[in-house]
Structure 1
């Protein structure tokens, strides 16, 4: 998907009268699906998560086989609305691809060769859409003086069905003086569940870092701790270096 088409879709997706636009408007607020659900006063995050999946499908129709009929309905409903707008032929062609993408049952589990491996973050960022749990920080937090004696510093732990696009949005935040540094991306087909496990373990270990300035999902932890959690979840093995 070309950058200018992605940027146009970023803009017009906010203009529908559907709930998907409300969810999309909160993506840059660095909120979990649980936090979004509480914001909308929903009792459970499942509806928010399905709309997040629909957003992923709108940007990349090739993800359609990963989602159920309800997600397809949300994505295609938004696509039909946007097609009534004054949009470029390129975006119109892209949305028509969304509309003609058939629903297929979820494919079988990933090849076992892909399990238990930490992928180089840059290899993932070079791809359009990747489901996974990601870890990033800011260079200032990697300065030796900010590290604790046990090697802990501040890391953001999040998840997305389209990791590269999510991280690209995080890069574009204007309220911080430096770009994020991507530390890890752990492959995960059930990224939101695995993200919740990461958060629970880190909180119980006393690594949660409460802040009103840097957003949510920040933890004062270490890479060995994060890799150990990933390995326990069968997401990663040791990485050299």
Structure 2
């Protein structure tokens, strides 16, 4: 039986664990926290911090077919990149694409170079959408009509125009040369649960072209989610 090792046992880990087991893989998990979401779902659970005990990770890599980082912890990802040459199996992660996509300011600069439309930075009039430079846009993000709040924000935040409309998501898979764009879905969001449901959405050729453009310019090697707001101007 093929074996994979996940680094990170929260939501992203749950998704990969479920799909891997459905595909017949034995799933191992590393997480520095003792109580994590998928601890009881995997075949083997190792509780340690890879940045403190890299030798343990190296030993595990000798006995699995691949390692998949499913964590948003930047220090962990960065450390994995530093020791990748010591690992005895493939690490299924696109570090180059990650370093661009994790930073919203860097991403916006990248989008501008490849002519991908994005919300206006620091618009003249409200409403304003404020979100952290890094991490999920659903954590720490807020909308405000109060312009007085904007100058007090530090450089860890980005301020954009607030665009109302459908939240559309596309998955893109790439190998660095060829890219496949999946099916559009509509993301349903509320204040209590963030994304609480997805539903099917009609094909949008413009969005599909944008998603493919992003992946090909990143030279994506892996799976990426592209999300956009479909405003009244389409």
TM-score (structure 1 length as normaliser): 0.27
TM-score (structure 2 length as normaliser): 0.27
Structure with the higher strand share, 1 or 2: 2
Structure with the higher helix share, 1 or 2: 1
By relative contact order (CA 8 Å, sep 6+), the higher-ranking structure is 1
